[in-house]
């Protein structure tokens, strides 16, 4: 039987209003009472999950930054961490200078962004996250200098572009670097560590808990969830998910606005 289920956040556990429904919270509680483990597996850093702390009473483990950092909420400590090679920094800075980009660096579970960009997030198609970033991100005056100073410390770098055309140009400029590049949101590009994915992070957590991959469920909706959907014993895609994610999954669930996560828990995790 399945023992661990991991949910992506945006587009999965969070509905279109960026909230976790009462039905999903009730199902998560049922899972914990049954002795099952429920985790979050997200591209967000730990800092961007703090607004949901009150909803995480039944969730101990966080797989963040697309698998680069594992965090234990109970013991308040990092269990495992991977960082990008410092050798990529010059090319990364060059690419940022050539396009209209809002860079975000994830370091040690924290989020760092250019102070001036926080008032222009609509311009980068990230307006829905404005209040979240105002609450959780650490602003810096000069992002280029910050990236240079902290080279080799990033779990992940997100590049929020003003246009999808700009994103594709950046992708070409960075294509020869030893990084994984993934499209996300409307026009953002995630720069991640090669081989470190939501899937590898989820399996790292399962190993730490002594749970074989065959007893692990991964639930997501987007392209960056595909490794998790493939690596888990059972991969489930939300009904609102991207076509490629649906193709990679074993089953398709109801949407994030129709309590698809609660459906997954009750049908697959709690069924005997």
Instruction: Say what the pTM is.
Output: 0.90
Phi, psi of 138 (to 5 degrees): -100, 115
Q: How far apart are the first and last CA of the chain?
A: 7
Average pLDDT over residues 76-104: 97
177-186, Cβ contacts within 8 angstroms, sequence gap of 24 or more: 177/88, 177/91, 177/92, 178/85, 178/87, 178/88, 179/84, 179/88, 182/66, 182/223, 182/224, 183/223, 184/43, 184/158, 184/222, 184/223, 184/224, 185/125, 185/126, 185/160, 186/125, 186/126
Closest CA relative to residue 80, chosen from 92, 93, 67, 91: 67
In this predicted structure, the answer to whether residue 53 has a pLDDT above a threshold of 80 is: yes
Higher pLDDT pick, 223 / 41: 41
Percent of the chain residues past pLDDT 90, beyond the cut:
96
In this predicted structure, the answer to whether residue 159 has a pLDDT above a threshold of 80 is: yes
Average pLDDT over residues 252-269: 98
Quick one: pLDDT band at residue 192, thresholds 50, 70, 90? very high
**pLDDT confidence of residue 120:** 96
**pLDDT confidence of residue 272:** 63
In this predicted structure, the answer to whether residue 58 has a pLDDT above a threshold of 80 is: yes
pLDDT tens digits for range 230-247: 999 999 999 999 999 999
**pLDDT confidence of residue 60:** 97
In this predicted structure, the answer to whether residue 220 has a pLDDT above a threshold of 70 is: yes
Average pLDDT over residues 58-79: 96
**pLDDT confidence of residue 183:** 87
**pLDDT confidence of residue 185:** 84
In this predicted structure, the answer to whether residue 71 has a pLDDT above a threshold of 70 is: yes
């Amino acid at each position: 039987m399945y023992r661990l289920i991991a949910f992506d956040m945006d587009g999965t556990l969070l509905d279109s209003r960026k909230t976790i429904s009462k039905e999903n919270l009730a199902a998560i509680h049922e899972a914990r009472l049954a002795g099952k483990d429920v985790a979050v597996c997200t591209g967000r850093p730990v800092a961007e999950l703090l607004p949901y702390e009150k909803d995480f009473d039944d969730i101990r483990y966080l797989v963040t930054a697309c698998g680069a950092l594992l965090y234990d909420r109970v013991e308040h400590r990092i269990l495992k961490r991977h960082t990008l090679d410092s050798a990529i920094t010059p090319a990364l800075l060059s690419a940022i200078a050539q396009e209209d980009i809002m860079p975000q660096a994830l370091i040690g579970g924290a989020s760092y962004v250019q102070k001036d960009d926080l008032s222009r997030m609509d311009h980068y198609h990230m307006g829905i996250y404005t209040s979240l970033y105002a609450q959780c991100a650490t602003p810096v005056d000069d992002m280029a200098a910050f990236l240079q100073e902290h080279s080799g410390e990033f779990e992940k770098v997100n590049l929020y572009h003003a246009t999808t055309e700009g994103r594709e140009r950046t992708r070409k400029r960075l294509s020869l670097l030893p990084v994984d590049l993934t499209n996300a949101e409307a026009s953002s590009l995630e720069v991640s560590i090669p081989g470190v994915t939501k899937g590898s992070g989820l399996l790292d957590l399962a190993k730490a808990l002594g749970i074989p991959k065959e007893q692990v469920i991964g639930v997501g909706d987007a392209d960056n969830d595909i490794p998790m959907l493939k690596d888990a014993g059972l991969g489930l895609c939300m009904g609102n998910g991207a076509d490629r994610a649906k193709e990679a999954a074993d089953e398709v669930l109801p949407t994030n606005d129709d309590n698809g996560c609660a459906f997954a828990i009750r049908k697959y995790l709690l069924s005997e």
